[in-house]
Amino acid sequence: METATSRRWRALLLASVAACAACGLVYELALLALSASLGRGDVVANSLIVAGYVAALGFGAVAAKPLVGRAAVSFLGIECALGLLGGVSATALYWVFSVTGESLGALVAATFVIGTLVGAEVPLLMTLLQTGRTASAEDTGRVLANLNAADYFGALVGGLLWPFVLLPAVGMLKATVIAGLINVSAALIIAALLLRRMMSRRALAAAVSALLAAALALGALLAGIRDIETTARQSLYAQPIVFAKHSKYQDIVVTRFGADRRLYLDGGLQYSSRDEYRYTESLVYPAVSAGTKTALILGGGDGLAARELLRMPNIERIVQVELDPEVIEVARTVLREDNRGSLDDPRVEKITADAFTWLHDQARNQARGETPAQKFDAIYADLPDPDNAVLAKLYSQEFYGLVRGVAAPGAKLVVQSGSPFSTPDAYWRTESTLRAAGWSTTPYHVHVPTFGDWGFVLAALSPEPPAVALDDGHPPLKFFTPSVAQAATVFGADNGPRQLEPSTLAHPKIVEDIRRGWRGAGE
Q: What are the start-end ranges of the H helices in 288-378?
A: 304-309, 325-332, 336-339, 355-368
Sheet with 440-448, side-by-side order of all strands: 348-352, 317-322, 294-299, 376-382, 407-418, 452-460, 440-448
Q: What are the start-end ranges of the H helices in 38-103?
A: 43-63, 71-100
Q: Is beta strand 260-265 parallel, antiparallel or unpaired with respect to 251-257?
A: antiparallel
CA distance 500 to 99: 39
- Contacts of 156 by beta carbon, 8 Å cutoff, 6+ apart: none
The residue among 436, 479, 426 whose CA lies nearest residue 283 is 479
Give CA 297 to chain center in angstroms: 21
Q: Is beta strand 294-299 parallel, antiparallel or unpaired with respect to 376-382?
A: parallel
Cβ proximity of 286 and 412 under 8 Å: yes
Q: How far is CA 362 from CA 87, 297, 366, 459, in A?
A: 43, 15, 6, 20
Chain length of the chain: 523
User: Any bridge partners for residue 255, and if so which?
Assistant: 241, 262
CA distance 27 to 184: 14
- Contacts of 451 by beta carbon, 8 Å cutoff, 6+ apart: 269, 279, 419
Given the residues 382, 385, 425, 513, the one annotated as active site:
382
C-alpha angle 151-21-118 in degrees, rounded to nearest 5: 100
- Contacts of 201 by beta carbon, 8 Å cutoff, 6+ apart: none
CA distance 235 to 226: 14
- Contacts of 258 by beta carbon, 8 Å cutoff, 6+ apart: none
> Catalytic site residue 227?
no
Catalytic residue positions, numbered: 382
